[in-house]
Amino acid sequence: MRVVLLGPPGAGKGTLAAAIKEKFGMLHLSTGDILRAEMKSGSSLGNEMKSFVDKGELVPDEVVTRIIANKLRNSDLSKGVLFDGYPRTVQQAQDLDKILSDLDAPIDVVVFMEVDLPVIIKRLTGRRVCRQCGAVYHTVNIPSKKEGICDLCQGELYQRADDKEETIRNRMDVYLTSTAPIINYYQKQEKLRKVDASQDVKDVLVFFEGLIKSNE
């Protein structure tokens, strides 16, 4: 089963994807993780990406699509694939359809995770990430035992530039203008399913399990 997780920043796509991967063994392609790894490498491409991300803007379509295509062609797709953070524009969605058509593995369903801006701001402004191991915490929901210190490796916890409120609001503006049209794109393909992402991830996972059974 090939699934696209759609929704604004902070909708919980990464959290849901991790739960799905653990339960069903599906390949999880997180664009955010892929891009951050490239940026951390310090390559010229990574530095170019960072200039967009730090301003809450989208990395150009052709760059992201090239990275995703390479990942798909070099991965085992037999247990299914979760696309988390991609596609973000209609052009990316069209490109992904072409890539998957060539691989004879089209998208089965698109899950649109709906959530309001106040919930998003609360979720993202409280997120903290370990500089050393990349573990993710939240100042309210998943606090570290010692403030500012990772429980796993004792590394420093920090707030990503794109998790500050001003940047979050900018990301939402970008989302509304660039990503929301994908909803119509997948609705026309009759692949879109909506879920209330403000509820606990366990409840959203139950919804997803229902999709798995209906597509068996």
Residue 171 is a catalytic residue:
yes
Q: Is 36 a catalytic residue?
A: no
State the catalytic residue, choosing from 2, 50, 127, 128.
127
Residue tagged active-site, from 2, 50, 128, 171: 171
* 13 in active site: yes
Name the catalytic one among 2, 36, 50, 88: 88
Q: Are 97 and 68 in contact (CB under 8 A)?
A: no
Note if 66 is an active site residue: no
Q: Is 160 a catalytic residue?
A: yes
* Distant-in-sequence contacts of 57-65, Cβ < 8 A, 24+ apart: 57/170, 57/174, 58/88, 58/89, 58/174, 58/178, 59/35, 61/89, 61/91, 61/92, 61/95, 64/31, 64/35, 64/88, 64/92, 65/92, 65/95, 65/96, 65/99
Q: Which of 160, 164, 193, 194 is catalytic?
A: 160
Would you name the residues annotated as active-site residues?
A: 13, 88, 127, 160, 171
